[in-house]
Structure 1
Amino acid sequence: MAESEGGEKTEEPTRKKLDDALKRGDVAKSQELNVWFGLAAATLAISIFGDGAVSSLGKTLTRFLEHPETIAIDGTSLRTMAGGLGVAIGAALALPMLVLMIAAIAGNLAQHPPLYTTDPLTPKFSKISPASGFKRLFSPESLVNFVKGLIKLGIVGTVIWMVVWPERAKVASLTQGDVAGLLPVLRSLTLHVLVASVCVFALIALADYLWQRHRWRERLKMTVQEVREEHKQQEGDPHIKGRIRQIRRERSKKRMMAAVPTATVVVANPTHYAVALKYESGMNAPMCVAKGVDALALRIRKLAEDSGVTVVENPPLARSLHAVVEVDREIPAEHYKAVAEVIGFVMRRKGRR
């Protein structure tokens, strides 16, 4: 336990720790998941818009591939040709690029909600320090990423080989066929490769996302001491809060004792309870200005006697009032009659009406 308190991070991150990490832009993020979204979007774009894009590009590029000698290369013609070629390629690729852009955004939103933070943009010496860069380059994390890249390359390469190898004869015949038929064959082959890659990358991306999220939570784990310090910051130091409560009680007691000389009567049990009541013309009901038990009750009683306040011994009423009425509050209606009799007795003793 002592070792855990000292420095070993064994506690799960608190909600505040997670929120602070999100504010800094520190989130669990898998690049493989973004790659999968890109591959899936590319496959979707080719399958939906591929025929139109291939047909448009085929018509545009046929002249360059079949009759390049007819192309004028003077300044004006070259600019016109380049502009027309750019417009044709842009029109053919506009919708596929829009799908890829949406996929890039969706890949990030699937991992975490939108965040706005300038912390990653803040200049930090550690980012440009050669020593820090050398440590990152040869860190265990870099080694894991290198091995992961090799495994991924091997898996994807194997899948592509399995898809392309049966079509090797068709690929070899493309050099002898019609130029106009080149793009549809390449589209079909590319689509097969992408579909196979998407299926394989789905497993890779899922595994990498789970791994990155696990590492992120492990990195944010806290020591027992950190949890205690955070609790103190949020809830306040128990010692300080206890001291504040004690000071408040002392001040409340002083105000209460200062109000005893203004009371009309003190209803008391001989030694255990004392309740000081105040009643003046215009008040709705008598009000409790002080109360106490045992030693405090004796202090209230002595102060009342020294101040000329009448003390009436009525144990049942004293206990009952002490239990139900708070300081600076009017007495409950069910005690009106009993208290009225006491106050009437006091007024008669003083000759008041």
Structure 2
Amino acid sequence: MAENEDGQEKSEEATSRRLQEARDKGQVARSRDLGTTAVLLSAALGLLIVGPSLIRGLSSIMTRLFSIERDQLFDSNSLFTVWGVVIADIGLPILGFIAFLALVSFIGNIVVGGISFSAQAMMPKGSKMSPLTGFKRMFGLQALVELTKGIAKFSVVALSAYFLLSFYFPDILNLSQDHLPGNLMHAMDILWWIFMWLCCSTIIIVIIDVPYQIWNHNKQLRMTKQEVKDEYKDTEGKPEVKSRIRQLQHEISQRRMMAEVPKADVIVVNPEHFAVAVKYDVNKAAAPYVVAKGADELAFKIREIAREYDIAIVSAPLLARAIYHTTKLEQQIPEGLFTAVAQVLAYVFQLRQYQKGRGRKPTPIPLNQPIPDEYKKY
């Protein structure tokens, strides 16, 4: 298991942040052998496509040059004519062939790791110019792996080339007995098959190299448990800081809620443990809604503010608990509690009229109002 400088095991997979930081630095999984094999195979395919055109072009040029007349040797214009024939017959196919190879080379090198452009990777680094660092790279484990891969690739290609040349050797000797342009077509055919099989031999290397490069890249980015914890603290914040932030947010929310208590029409209490401030404003909502609620000490503060601003306090234990547990701030009362809340509001409004001398004293509402079973909270 890999270890860091502190001796801790890098047993954890790299986090998304670690992967993104590595990508920003240009550290992505790459398989040079995949790009090389893609170029070689595309070259074989390109030769198969443009090979006949090149052979016809070369044959035409050779025929023209070997049949040139004496007068044309002293004519400067004929030289430019020959160059025009060369460009038309073999120049354009070769340019198309090169453009095709460049495209395949680009695609082959981004299949593993994708497109990555990093300005940090292009910046000069002193560590890269350090002789000691270079010595470690030359004789380190990674250098040994690369040396082994190089020997394996050379062995595979050399053995493939030996068997292919042995197989096609009689055909190569017979080329001297053919005539133009047949011998050129035959030579191109032999060359293509040898080249094609050599390219295919490198697929064995790619099959091994691609998984290894991905595995090695992930291994290098692995993290220790402490690094994961430190990163979590950096991204999510330290637990004590987050706790303090939540505490401040809670205090701000409570102060904002307490500022709404004087606007309530009635405070429904338990009478000691719960307090719910309810308001009915037809211009804002179709049903009564909760502007503040609290339990224990917070309920005591709500009752204090209600007494300070002369807000009616009604003791209805079942109703207070039901509203507290089922209704959020600024949320309307559930439909199942409409009847009970309407009775409380009616009593409060009648009590206000009585206090102003405009009506008779209302009958106090019962302490235990009928509450649907699904809203009862004990």
TM-score, normalization: structure 1?
A: 0.81
Q: Structure 1 vs Structure 2: percent identity of aligned residues?
A: 31
Q: Deviations over 1:93-140 (max 9, x none)?
A: 233323322321231243243344333322323333343333322222
Separation of aligned partners in 2, 1:176 and 1:280: 108
Task: Tell me whether 1:351 sits opposite 2:352 in the alignment.
Answer: no
- Within 5 A, what are the aligned runs for 1:105-124? 105-124=106-125
The residue number in structure 2 matching 1:201 is 202
Separation of aligned partners in 1, 2:234 and 2:100: 47
Unaligned runs of 5+ in 1: none
- Pairing partner for 2:343 from 322, 327, 338: 338
The residue number in structure 1 matching 2:16 is 15
- Pairing partner for 1:314 from 313, 316, 319: 316
Pair 200,293 (structure 1): closer, same or farther in 2 beyond 3 Å: same
8 Å Cα contact 1:62-1:180 kept in structure 2: no
- Within 5 A, what are the aligned runs for 1:241-280? 241-261=242-262, 263-278=264-279
1:330 CA drift (Å): 5.0
Q: Deviations over 1:151-200 (max 9, x none)?
A: 21122111111111233344346567767665334322222212221221
**Structure with more contact order per residue of length (Cα contacts < 8 Å, sep ≥ 6):** 1
Separation of aligned partners in 1, 2:123 and 2:232: 29
Separation of aligned partners in 2, 1:93 and 1:327: 76
Q: In structure 1, the residue corresponding to 2:275 is in which secondary structure?
A: strand
The residue number in structure 1 matching 2:185 is 184
8 Å Cα contact 2:34-2:210 kept in structure 1: yes
1:204 CA drift (Å): 1.2
Pair 6,340 (structure 1): closer, same or farther in 2 beyond 3 Å: farther
1:211 CA drift (Å): 0.9
The residue number in structure 2 matching 1:147 is 148
Q: In structure 2, the residue corresponding to 1:13 is in which secondary structure?
A: coil
The residue number in structure 1 matching 2:296 is 294
1:241 CA drift (Å): 2.4
1:33 CA drift (Å): 1.1
Pair 258,342 (structure 1): closer, same or farther in 2 beyond 3 Å: same
1:37 CA drift (Å): 1.1
The residue number in structure 2 matching 1:304 is 306
Q: In structure 2, the residue corresponding to 1:228 is in which secondary structure?
A: helix
Unaligned runs of 5+ in 2: 359-378
Pair 79,17 (structure 1): closer, same or farther in 2 beyond 3 Å: farther
8 Å Cα contact 1:62-1:179 kept in structure 2: no
Pair 180,133 (structure 1): closer, same or farther in 2 beyond 3 Å: farther
1:53 CA drift (Å): 0.9
Structure 1 or 2: larger helix share? 1
> Match of 1:98, as an amino acid?
A
Q: In structure 2, the residue corresponding to 1:8 is in which secondary structure?
A: coil
> Match of 2:152, as an amino acid?
I
- Pairing partner for 1:325 from 324, 327, 349: 327
> Match of 2:270, as an amino acid?
N
The residue number in structure 1 matching 2:374 is none
Query: Aligned pairs, how many?
Result: 350
- Within 5 A, what are the aligned runs for 1:209-224? 209-224=210-225
Q: Deviations over 1:291-321 (max 9, x none)?
A: 2223332343344335544432222332233
Q: In structure 2, the residue corresponding to 1:266 is in which secondary structure?
A: strand
Separation of aligned partners in 2, 1:176 and 1:350: 128
Q: In structure 1, the residue corresponding to 2:205 is in which secondary structure?
A: helix
Pair 195,294 (structure 1): closer, same or farther in 2 beyond 3 Å: same
